[in-house]
Amino acid sequence: MFMPIIPQGVRTTCPYCGVGCGVKATPLAEGGALIEGDTGHAANRGRLCVKGSALGETLGLDARLLHPMLRRDGELARAGWDQALDTVADGFARIIAEHGPDAVALYVSGQILTEDYYVANKFMKGYVGSANIDTNSRLCMSSAVAGHKRAFGEDIVPGCYEDFELADAIVLVGSNTAWCHPTLFGRIVKAKEARPELRIVVLDPRRTATCELADLHLPLKPGSDVRLFNGLLAYLAQEGAADQDFIDAHTNGIGDALDVARAGGDVDEVARACGVDAGQLREFYALFARTGKVVTAFSMGVNQSSSGTDKVNAIINCHLFTGRIGQPGMGPFSLTGQPNAMGGREVGGLANMLASHLDLDNAQHRDSVRTFWDAPRIAAKPGLKAVDLFRAVEAGKVKAVWIMATNPVVSMPDADQVRRALAACELVVVSDVVAQADLAPYAHVMLPALAWGEKDGTVTNSERRISRQRAFLPAPGEARADWQALCGVAQRMGFAGFDYAGAHAIFDEHARLSVWRNEEQDCPRRFRLDALVGLDQAAYDALEPVQWPLPAHGGGTPRLFGDGHFSHPDGKARFIVTAPRVPVNAPGGEYPLVLNTGRLRDQWHTMTRTGK
């Protein structure tokens, strides 16, 4: 019988998928931890999938990176933190002095906490003065970000998980929800058991485990999603399913979007183009047209595509056309892949974002953030996005890169190119928890990071719910939080503003930025954390999972846009013209194969943790 030691039942959050399940963790005397679902967490209400349930078995210190390492005479050798941070700071400072701020870069991850992300973004955009910070969330989320911004004026998921239970139809597009978001799928299964009339439609080239629950599976050709949803928009117009009052009062651009949609032809033509049965396609279209409460959830099959943003907007167009957004049981819903992809978006962790839902290409926003940070400069243009970033490294334009909590030599689309780039790079800094990481052979400096169970901060899940990740294990060896490593380098480079008392102080700054000069902006944000401004350590420790926006008084916000007011300057949503195009490397082109990505049900990412 294993006897738990203190602390007992620490409430934290699963570090894997974007469902963001609450976990209760109790460390065990002989190692590992007893893991239970947190019945008080609204995302999962006590349920965990296999990955989450097995978290306790991933906590051993074997293979951990416990000390900083520096490459000397071709070999990585143990070093002290001061020496390692001096090396990083000196290297970054020298390269910036010789080649300018765009010669350095950070490549971070949806695995790091919001506080780490916030400091990383502030360091690069406000102090280094370059927007060369991108994240592995680029690969999974950037299409959703861009699609939301185009349609709504702000990167916002309008709904919440409860909508899946309140819907009368759920359309899952490019999403193997059963494997990739299992506890949310469990909620859908239960809803279907309770109400067998709930219709489930899966749009996926592959017949996945998710299809077992589906009333209808449309195995569309890879990349034909836009054509299919354009066809739906044209069908909805033809069948008189428009919510004309909503369109007139709250949207712009329906004419052009509809013209392009109609140009795709009738249902039979669309079915041929998408490679699906015309009768089944008609069945789906008719279901969507007659069902008021419909949720269209999408994931990597939509996002990870050369036309991903148009796919997102083609889906949103159909919801705007029928006015089905921001009300219980309806709306487009982006299922995020990683535990903190959303948190990264909130702090501007992508190369084309600023911070706190402000825009890099807006001079007023840039000035506002620079002033708030009291920063010496502010990045004035977008930085390099993930793929371009590693191309620039290979070309010698980026000479120093700091990679944090991600494994690009395995996870990037052209991993061999990343290996070539890193082999040629002047300074490669790697923050990781694993000593023999795939990146280790390329690293000049390795910094030992905290792993799940040791970290302290916040994450945001797919439904905008901010949850605490709380430490229940001590930091092993000399491992430190990523924000601490960033602050150590920033201070050595002479940057003020990186002297935080703890993660709670970073979160407070993040919350204050969300309300900073908000009324003066030409476009006030919906992303606001008013109620979380000024949390002290005790209040931060006690923070319950809550959905932003958070007005100063009252609780969180489950749904947005139900009032028909969007974040564009005129308050209206925009229909986006989405012209269908086939995958860039279509058959007959330079690359004759179309490949489709998938996941392993019980593994996570490149298996560095779940593989244990």
Pick the closest to residue 231 from 199, 257, 200 (CA basis): 257
Q: Alpha-carbon distance 501 to 497, whole Å?
A: 11
Pick the closest to residue 573 from 151, 148, 146 (CA basis): 151
Of residues 303 and 338, the one with the C-beta less far from ligand SF4:
338
Binding segment (CB under 6 A) for ligand SF4, from list 17-25, 61-69, 263-271, 443-451: 17-25
Of residues 175 and 251, the one with the C-beta less far from ligand SF4:
175
Binding segment (CB under 6 A) for ligand SF4, from list 43-51, 253-261, 305-313, 326-334: 43-51
Of residues 205 and 339, the one with the C-beta less far from ligand SF4:
339
Q: Alpha-carbon distance 120 to 184, whole Å?
A: 31
Which residue type does 74 have?
G
Q: How far is the CB of 63 from ligand SF4 (least distance, A)?
A: 21
Q: Alpha-carbon distance 161 to 368, whole Å?
A: 34
Binding status of residue 59 toward ligand SF4 by CB under 6 A: no
Return the residue matching tokens 């797919």.
Answer: 462
- How big is the chain by its Cα radius of gyration, in Å? 24
| Position among 11, 20, 33, 68 found at the interface with ligand SF4 (CB under 6 A) | 20
- Measured CA to CA in angstroms, residue 91 lies from 98, 268, 352, 492 at distances of 11, 61, 25, 11
Q: How far is the CB of 111 from ligand SF4 (least distance, A)?
A: 13
Binding status of residue 110 toward ligand SF4 by CB under 6 A: no
Binding status of residue 299 toward ligand SF4 by CB under 6 A: no
| Position among 27, 52, 56, 153 found at the interface with ligand SF4 (CB under 6 A) | 52
Q: Alpha-carbon distance 446 to 135, whole Å?
A: 19
Q: What is the size of the binding site for ligand SF4 (CB under 6 A)?
A: 14
Of residues 317 and 340, the one with the C-beta less far from ligand SF4:
340
Q: In the range 182-211, which residues lie near ligand SF4 by CB under 6 A?
A: 182-183
Binding segment (CB under 6 A) for ligand SF4, from list 10-18, 206-214, 277-285, 295-303: 10-18
Q: What is residue 132's DSSP assignment?
A: -
Binding status of residue 404 toward ligand SF4 by CB under 6 A: no
Pick the closest to residue 254 from 316, 345, 181 (CA basis): 316
**Does 545 sit behind a cis peptide bond, omega within 30 degrees of 0 on the bond before it?**
no
Q: Alpha-carbon distance 526 to 252, whole Å?
A: 20
Q: Alpha-carbon distance 360 to 121, whole Å?
A: 12
Q: How far is the CB of 23 from ligand SF4 (least distance, A)?
A: 7
| Position among 14, 140, 485, 511 found at the interface with ligand SF4 (CB under 6 A) | 14
**Residues 6 or more apart in contact with residue 182 via CB below 8 angstroms:** 17, 19, 49, 50, 51, 601
Binding segment (CB under 6 A) for ligand SF4, from list 47-55, 295-303, 350-358, 376-384: 47-55
Q: How far is the CB of 41 from ligand SF4 (least distance, A)?
A: 10
**347 burial via Cβ count (<10 Å: 0-12, 13-18, 19+):** buried
Binding segment (CB under 6 A) for ligand SF4, from list 16-24, 25-33, 98-106, 522-530: 16-24
Q: How far is the CB of 286 from ligand SF4 (least distance, A)?
A: 33
Other C-beta atoms within 10 Å of 89: how many? 18
Which residues here bind ligand SF4, judged by CB under 6 A?
Answer: 14, 16-17, 19-21, 44, 48-49, 51-52, 181-183
